[in-house]
Amino acid sequence: MSTEREQARLWVGDTEVARYVVDPALDARHGPRPYLHPVRTLGGTVVTDALPADHVWHLGASLAVQDVNGSNLWGGRTYVRDVGYTWREDHGRIAHTRWSRRSADRLAHRLEWRDPRGAVLLTEDRRLSAVPLAGAGPAEELSAWRLDVDYTLRAPDGQDVRLGSPATNGRPDGAGYGGFFWRAVSTAPASVFDASAAGEEAVNGSAEPWVALVGTGPDERAYTLVFGGLGDGDRWFTRTAMYPGVGVAFAFERQVTIAAGTTRRGRHAVVVADGALDRAAAAALAARSRPTPPGGRPAT
């Protein structure tokens, strides 16, 4: 059984690189769910934010969707077509149910995605791994490690499950967020780029193989995050102007359905590096860290 605010930890060698808050005691409106925070570089720089004043429901690195068959598992207000953002009594939660593995560098557990009444919308098997990257990048002295995130979502027998976003519910301006999302922290303006473009507007909604975010941690040291692992139909969701964040968006432009009794699998890799990397260095790290393409029966 989990306990309130139970935490697990991930290590690379003797360095703690992430804490995993498994059962947070949060208001239902904040989308209670397991999340990683703080996540750190090997040099100790914190690269996640949780419960920030601008979006209290942003919880470090987590998996969440704003519209799951009409239930809000993201937190905050729900975007309603022709109305806008509205507070509704539609908040569910993503709940840990049991561990299948706990070790220094790997965590695996079963979860349930529940609607406001506690009914199970989806079950999930999630695996998190911390992987050292010795001699990463062009410079052998580069300090970096990789977070691997692997999950399988299962729809119940007899019920399709629709995943949506503010964009699919009518919000313009590329607000197709919802999926695996990393709320970063930066004391100076962050920058984002991929293999062919730079800047929030150019990168948001792209389907490039990787995207990088460069920020400045609370210790005023630079860090770089390199994300990889889009599935079929996924798009990158990026923000730097209002806040720093990168996500793998499941329903960027249109709803996705997990058919009754089928699964949707995702595998993402996030390189966490000390220092501000350029495009060539980020591309080299992305090439070394490309996750295996998702398997299982694809969602439609």
| Chain segment 94-148, per-residue pLDDT in tens | 999 999 999 999 999 999 999 999 999 999 999 999 999 975 544 456 799 999 9
Q: What sign for the dihedral angle of Cα 298, 73, 103, 52?
A: positive
Cβ(63)–Cβ(45) under 8 Å?
A: no
Q: What is the pTM of this model?
A: 0.93
Q: What sign for the dihedral angle of Cα 213, 191, 238, 49?
A: positive
pLDDT greater than 80 at residue 61: yes
pLDDT greater than 90 at residue 41: yes
3-state helix, strand, coil in the chain (%, to 5): 5, 45, 50
pLDDT in tens, 153-191: 999 999 999 999 999 999 998 999 999 999 999 999 999
pLDDT greater than 80 at residue 59: yes
- Across all residues in the chain, what is the average pLDDT? 93
Confidence of residue 288 (pLDDT cuts 50, 70, 90): confident
Q: What is the pLDDT of residue 142?
A: 79
CATH 2.70.98 fits 7-288, yes or no: yes
Instruction: Domain ranges for the chain, please list them.
Output: 7-288
What is the C-alpha to C-alpha distance for residues 84 and 75, in angstroms, rounded to an integer?
15
pLDDT greater than 70 at residue 299: no
pLDDT in tens, 237-281: 999 999 999 999 999 999 999 999 999 999 999 999 999 999 999
Closest CA to 168 of 259, 79, 92, 275: 79
